[in-house]
Structure 1
Amino acid sequence: MISQLDRLFDDYDRGRISRRGLMAALVPLVAATPAKAADTLTVKSVNHVSLNVTDIDKSREFYQGLFGAPVVSKQSNGINIAMGAVSFLGLYKMGPSQPAIHHVCFGLQETVENAGGFLEKHSVKPQIRDRDGVKELYFRDPDNIMIQLQEQSYRG
């Protein structure tokens, strides 16, 4: 679309089309441009994926051996290791269940509080918990898969 606009303005500047012709040509271009949905959350990244593992130390050694991934934070039942500049992989022992992906977290432009309000407006019931002064937002999708939403800078 930018090249079409440049061409139209160039034609106008060179006197090839009138102001009325320029306006007539601009209307369909602008009308055809898809707009961002006004009522959506803005996902900036996949912040992290948390795995339910059988042995945290064995999993840490495996991922650090493959990717040189340093531990960025620890919790009582697991650790988070860096995966790039802003993402991390959570390795947790979450009870007797089988190894699996526990949840996925998306990094947002919005705050947790704003995201929670947005979800409630869309009939989704978020759970916001405070962990050591950090608000964490969770909800379940239609297939009961846990999704977490956090500010993009969240590091566990």
Structure 2
Amino acid sequence: MSPDPASLVAEYDDGRLSRRDLIAGLTALGAASAFAGSAAAQEREDDAADAKPLFSGRNVDHIALDVTDVNRSVAFYERHLGLKKIRGNDRSAFLGRENGEFFVALFQSETPGLNHFCFGIDEYDPLEAARKLKAEGREVRQTSGRTYFKDPDGIEVQLAQKRDL
């Protein structure tokens, strides 16, 4: 049989292949393509595992949650975890320790869930962080010196200067 879909279809149209043989050939090509793609992806992951990391995550600086009622969530975290509201309003709140450092951010949303999480890294430079991520083919969003990018599952990751928590 011919090695590409167009040739298989042409052979079918010319009557040289049965419908069953056409389907078998196209299925085999699809499976081979998927196997080759997954093998190449695994090879890229293996290469990436051997490469030096772009950053050295030192701690989880904070997590940001989407919540349906900011005030209700503030009350929950204050009551159950002893967190204090550092700053905020009815649309967002930043919770943390008595010393003013926050580590949980709450944002008003129709759908609750993880908004993002932030890793503290040593010697954080937002421009350098963006350059490194873009060189790796990552889409980068920056705002007010913050650097955001998505993990393979689409979860947003933020980078910040490591702080002592």
What secondary structure, in the 3-state scheme, does the structure 2 residue paired with 1:57 have?
helix
Which residue of the partner structure matches residue 93 of structure 1?
108
Instruction: Tell me which stretches of 4 or more aligned residues in structure 1 moved more than 4 Å.
Output: 36-39, 83-87
Cα distance change of structure 1 residues 138 and 154 upon mapping to structure 2, 3 Å threshold = farther
Task: Give the aligned CA root-mean-square deviation in angstroms.
Answer: 2.8
> Displacement of 1:73 after TM fit?
3.4
Segments of 5+ residues of structure 1 without an aligned counterpart are 1-35
TM-score in terms of structure 2 length: 0.59
The structure richer in helix per residue is 2
Task: Note if contact 1:49-1:105 (Cα within 8 Å) is conserved in structure 2.
Answer: yes
Cα distance change of structure 1 residues 154 and 144 upon mapping to structure 2, 3 Å threshold = farther
Cα distance change of structure 1 residues 129 and 146 upon mapping to structure 2, 3 Å threshold = same
Q: How many positions carry a matched residue from both structures? A: 114
Higher RCO (C-alpha 8 Å, min separation 6): 1
Q: Which has the larger radius of gyration?
A: 2
> Displacement of 1:113 after TM fit?
2.0
Fraction of identical pairs, as percent: 25
What secondary structure, in the 3-state scheme, does the structure 2 residue paired with 1:125 have?
coil
Which residue of the partner structure matches residue 69 of structure 2?
55
Cα distance change of structure 1 residues 83 and 119 upon mapping to structure 2, 3 Å threshold = farther
Distance 2:71 2:90 in 1: 14
Which residue of the partner structure matches residue 119 of structure 1?
133
Which residue of the partner structure matches residue 143 of structure 2?
129
Task: Note if contact 1:83-1:89 (Cα within 8 Å) is conserved in structure 2.
Answer: no
1:3-152 to 2 correspondences below 5 Å: 38-74=52-88, 77-82=91-96, 88-94=103-109, 96=110, 98-109=111-122, 110-130=124-144, 135-152=145-162
> Displacement of 1:107 after TM fit?
1.0
What secondary structure, in the 3-state scheme, does the structure 1 residue paired with 2:147 have?
strand
> Displacement of 1:57 after TM fit?
0.8
